[in-house]
Amino acid sequence: MRHLEFRTVETSAGTRAPDALVGRVVDGRYRVDARLARGGMATVYEATDLRLDRTVALKVMHASLADDAAFVSRFQREARSAARLSDPHVVAVYDQGEDGPLVYLAMEYVPGRTVRDVLREHGRLSAEQALTILDPVLQALEAAHRAGFVHRDVKPENVLLTDDGRVKVADFGLARAISSATSTAATQGLLIGTVAYLSPEQVERGVADARSDVYGAGILLYEMVTGSVPFAGETPLAVAYQHVNAAVPSPSSVRPEVSPLIDGLVAQSATRDPDDRYPDAAAFLDDVRAVRRQLPAPRAFGVVDDPATAATLVVPLAGAGTGFAPPSGPAPTADSQTTAATPLPAAKPAKRKRRKGWIAFLAVLVLAALAAGAGWYLGVGRTVAVPPLANLTVKQAEAKLAPLGLSLDASQTDFSETVGKGDIIRTDPDSGAEVREGATIAAVVSKGPERYEVPDVRGKTVDEATALITENNLAVGTTKQAFDEKVDKGLVVSATPKVGTELKRGQTVDLVVSKGPAPVKIPNLAGQTKEAATATLTKAGLEVKYADAYSKTVLEGSVVSSNPKAGATVPKGGTVTLTISLGPPLVTVPDVYDLKAATAQKRLEALGLKVVLEYPLVVTPRDRVVIQSISAGTQVRWGSTITLSIV
């Protein structure tokens, strides 16, 4: 079973503490007049739509939900979807929005009370009374199911009985928004609902379809005819456990006087396995109407067989002058366009009284028609057509509305590619619509084309640049890398289009990211003087180190070689070692005294020395070295010259 959190709904009654929202105008449009009720998810206020001059019910979500961005997003989508659901038994959704920390829903204002109020005042209902209420509830659910909606939270608090006898279902889509918002990583597996009416699949898996609404409607029927819900426990979790593991008992097991026909409806609608239930509200409604045709006509709430006690049980509805009583006779057909309930007298009168009642009823109708006609003439009948205001400035529009007795609300703005900045894009109501004199026309004023400047992202990391571009409602396009002498590796060198260019929302900005300075190619420095080679490498941004070596070919103090070798590349700032020539190596002169001239010459030349032979004027047959110009054991440079005297 999923981890569950359950929140109860409490209807405000009696003395209330002052509410800071009463008297405020929400979103520049809804004046909050009074608080009606406070529940676990929202507070409901009676408010006036200043734009359309009508009374609405304003449902303001509690801060714990309004602070959840995921909930707000889901709530907005579900409210927009619910607003498309049109049925006479569904509380209409007019608008949704945010005003600072307030997340609200503007709905049809339904004067009257809930089924919960009726059960509190009168206790359980008769079978015929309960089915008269359930019929329009199922009509509302049927319309929702056809449109692809699932209510998810069918309960007495969401079934409203209007002062003029209609039945309406409220809060379509809200349960889905809340259950989705609470399935985030932070609250994984959390389910918010009303435990007494949750279907087993909602408890176990958090899923709901049309059959889940059928289950909730079955529990609603059970409670209306018995006065209590089928499962109770010390904790909500205990109640949820029973929904999953126990069968809903038959109402007659609690109230023996309940008809077996009601037992059958509850059994078919509130079985644990969804596949065994009615597939949708329409199928449930067919059986409800079949049962209604077999039951007696319903009586008003609170009417009992003992007239002496009836007066204490009949509680008039405000403005209706009578208890709520469903219509007598056969149940309405599927094509019926009449409302599901109308106010009737609390008890059955005699025929003579019935005739008087009809006469009085007709007189009331005539008076109502006259009053309506007068009201139409004095109020709604005095209307004017909204003139075309598109592409006009606010001052021009005000000047055009003034002679018609209309005023302008130009507080809303929006971007436009076609309407100039400061001119009107559209109005609500549209041009040509009929409105009463003194009405306010809401206009959306153009802010001009939607454009955003390319921000300065130079010198920033790619992540920083991406975040800044995204904040400006643009997107990052391609990212290329290039060497740059001034910008550190990994930082943005430039953006295209250039900084300050104005782009449309979502257009891309290409980035060039530095790979750091370009590497340096080592030139051939061999033979250059130490000073000259050092200057060349330093100018290229390299560090220089030195090493010494003898060289038979390179002059002392000049470059013999480099490490890395000539032709290799080194990152800028890298180090190159130059080998500087110490000149030719040293050679130790050997002792060649008394050696044959040719032998001595060969030995010395093998050491890299140059040999000069000197002979006397008279050549002797000995041909041996008698004198060497550099003494044996002396060290001289490779290539030095030694003179040998031969006799």
Which class is 451-514 in CATH?
Answer: alpha beta
Q: List alpha helices for 1-91, DSSP H.
A: 63-66, 69-83
What backbone phi and psi angles, to 5 degrees, belong to 192? Answer: -110, 130
Burial 126-159 (b: 16+ CB within 10 A, else e): bbbbbbbbbbbbbbbbbbbbeeebbbbbbbbbbb
Neighbours of 392 (CB within 10 A): 19
- The radius of gyration of the chain from alpha carbons, rounded to an integer in Å, stands at 49
Q: Report the distance separating Cα 12 and Cα 35, nearest Å.
A: 8
What kind and span of H or E run contains 466?
helix 462-471
Q: Are 647 and 602 a contacting pair, CB within 8 Å?
A: no
Q: Report the distance separating Cα 77 and Cα 66, nearest Å.
A: 14
Q: How far is CA 370 from the centre of its chain?
A: 52
pLDDT reported for residue 314: 27
CA dihedral 114, 120, 126, 127 (to 10 degrees): 50
CATH for 520-581, options being 2.60.40.420, 3.30.10.20, 2.70.170.10, 3.40.50.2300:
3.30.10.20
Residue 86's region, left for phi above 0, alpha for psi from -120 to 50, else beta, is: beta
pTM score over 0.75: no
Beta bridge partners of 624: 596
| Amino acid at position 416, single letter | S
pLDDT reported for residue 78: 67
Report the candidate in 265, 249, 161 with the shortest Cα–Cα distance to residue 214.
265
Please compute, for residue 405, the number of CA atoms within 13 A of its CA located in the half-sphere on the CB side. 10
CA distances from 360 to 379, 399, 528 (A): 28, 51, 126
Which class is 385-446 in CATH?
Answer: alpha beta
Q: Report the distance separating Cα 221 and Cα 616, nearest Å.
A: 148
Which class is 5-108 in CATH?
Answer: alpha beta
pLDDT reported for residue 478: 94
Q: Which residue is catalytic, options 87, 117, 153, 423?
A: 153
Q: Report the distance separating Cα 459 and Cα 375, nearest Å.
A: 71
Domain 5-108 identical in fold to domain 385-446: no
Report the candidate in 72, 57, 70 with the shortest Cα–Cα distance to residue 102.
72
Q: Are 324 and 341 a contacting pair, CB within 8 Å?
A: yes
Homologous superfamily (CATH) for 113-310: Transferase(Phosphotransferase) domain 1 (1.10.510.10)
Q: Which parts of 531-621 are beta strand (E)? A: 543-549, 559-563, 569-570, 575-581, 586-588, 610-614
Write the DSSP symbol of residue 185.
G
For the chain, what's the residue count?
A: 647
Give yes or no: 428 in active site: no
Q: Report the distance separating Cα 637 and Cα 609, nearest Å.
A: 8
pLDDT reported for residue 187: 31
> pLDDT, tens digit, for every residue of 101-151?
898 989 999 888 899 999 998 889 999 999 999 999 999 999 988 887 788
CA triple 134-138-139, angle to 5 deg: 120
Low-confidence ranges of the chain (pLDDT < 70): 1-17, 40, 74, 77-78, 81, 173-193, 301-382, 619
CA dihedral 331, 333, 337, 343 (to 10 degrees): 0
> pLDDT, tens digit, for every residue of 605-625?
999 999 999 988 776 778 899
DSSP characters over 294-358: TSPPP--TT--S-HHHHTTT--PPTTTSS---PPPSSPPPTT--S-S-----SSPPPHHHHHHHH
337's tokens:
């366009």
DSSP characters over 394-456: HHHHHHHHGGGT-EEEEEEEE--SSS-TTBEEEEESPTT-EEETT-EEEEEEE--S-EEEPP-
Q: Is domain 586-646 annotated with CATH 3.30.10.20? A: yes
Q: Report the distance separating Cα 303 and Cα 326, nearest Å.
A: 13
Provide, for the chain, the percentages of residues in helix, strand and coil under a 3-state DSSP scheme, each rounded to the nearest 5: 30, 25, 45
pLDDT reported for residue 563: 94
User: Strands 440-446 and 407-414: what pairing?
Assistant: parallel
What kind and span of H or E run contains 286?
helix 281-292
Domain boundaries, the chain: 5-108, 113-310, 349-381, 385-446, 451-514, 520-581, 586-646
Q: Report the distance separating Cα 290 and Cα 279, nearest Å.
A: 17
Q: List alpha helices for 41-184, DSSP H.
A: 63-66, 69-83, 115-122, 127-146, 174-181
Q: Are 94 and 54 a contacting pair, CB within 8 Å?
A: no
Beta bridge partners of 34: 46
Q: Are 202 and 175 a contacting pair, CB within 8 Å?
A: no
CA distances from 336 to 88, 129, 330, 332 (A): 12, 19, 12, 6
